[in-house]
Amino acid sequence: MAAGKKKHWYDYLWIWTIVYFALGFFNILFAWLGMIDFILPLIFAIAGGNKWFCNHMCGRGQLFWVLGRNLKCSRRKPAPKWLSSTWFRYGFLTFFMTMFGTMIFQTYLVFSGAGSLRKAIKLFWTFRVPWKWAYNGSVFPDWVAQFGFGFYSLMLTSTLIGLIVMALYKERTWCTFCPMGTMTQGICRIKSKKGN
Amino acid sequence: MRRASNDTKRCVACGVCALTCPREAISIFKGCYAVVDESKCVGCGLCEKACPAGTIRVMEVQDGSR
């Protein structure tokens, strides 16, 4: 952030990212709150035709900035060009949506009774990490918790990828291939071409 | 004169450049790409250092927009 600029409440949303992961550590049902970060950018893009969420409100992007720039955890070197190329961005979006779909299917299996609730987090879509302390039953059916575990896995994995590229390259390198960013920019481009 | 210039085709419209600009010379055009107001830009290069996609660069541009 440039010095001397007026600070807004939404400049501190990086705290939200930390709070989100902390809450999910203790109770996985809080993972559902991450849906805000999925729905809000889409509302901005579809209704407003802008990326105001990415530009001003993204807690994750702000966290990378705070850690990378303010706390000097980034090499601040240019990232390879392919990371921000169209094919990689849309390829990553496709991969991400496929994994999101798989997660929804897992939730459905628990919902239908064909599968049982697994109290674990999957990192990088590969490594299973026990997370059983985060859920001890609730008034909600099991599938609600299953979605929580799946969604938290997705959020944590993508944040970890973001932290890795933050350390290696520029602070907000994640933003160049963030699936939400790609999606909202795509929507904005279509909207601006239509002329409204 | 040296001014920031953006490769709008490759820009990801993340808005980091606009946040770092001390002159508020950069805005994100309809969520598509960053636009530099050359009458405000002083060519300091803070945006170039922050841009994660490497699309915004300070370069020599023709005077005349002022």
Contact between chains at A188 and B14 (C-beta distance less than 8 A)? no
Q: What is the mean pLDDT of each run of 10 residues along chain A (196 residues)?
A: 78 96 96 95 96 96 96 95 96 97 97 94 94 93 96 97 97 97 97 82
Asked if residues A145 and A30 have their Cβ atoms less than 8 Å apart, the reply is: no
Give the whole-angstrom CA distance, residue A75 versus residue A60: 18
Please state, rounded to an integer, the average pLDDT across all residues of chain B. 92
What are the residue ranges of helices labelled H in chain A? 14-26, 35-43, 52, 59-65, 86-112, 142-168, 174-177, 179-194
Instruction: Give a yes or no: residue B49 inside a domain.
Output: yes
8 Å CB contact between A79 and B10: no
Would B56 be classed as within a structural domain?
A: yes
Position B66 in a domain:
no
Quote the ipTM score. Answer: 0.90
Q: List the domain range (segments joined by +) for residue B34.
A: 2-60
CATH of the domain at B31: 3.30.70.20
Residue B38 lies in a domain: yes
Residue B34 banded pLDDT, cuts 50, 70, 90: very high
Residues of B in contact with A184 (CB under 8 A): 31
> In B, which residues are within 8 Å of A3 by CB distance?
22
The confidence score (pLDDT) of residue B42 equals 95
The predicted model gives B34-54 an average pLDDT of 95
Query: Is the pLDDT reported for residue B66 higher than 70?
Result: no
Cβ separation B30–A49 shorter than 8 A: yes
> Do the strands B56-60 and A120-123 form a parallel or antiparallel pair, or are they unpaired?
unpaired
Residues in chain A: 196
pLDDT of A194 reads 85
Distance in Å from the first CA to the final CA of chain B = 11
Q: What is the pLDDT of residue A27?
A: 96
**In the structure encoding, which two tokens stand for residue A53, read together?**
């969420």
Contact B52 A173 (CB under 8 A): yes
Answer yes or no: is pLDDT of B62 > 80. Answer: no
d(CA A92, CA A84): 11
Whether B44 has its CB under 8 Å from any CB of chain A: the answer is: no
Per the structure, the count of domains in chain B is 1
Q: What is the mean pLDDT of residues B36-40?
A: 94
Q: Provide the percentage of residues in chain B whose pLDDT is more than 90.
A: 88
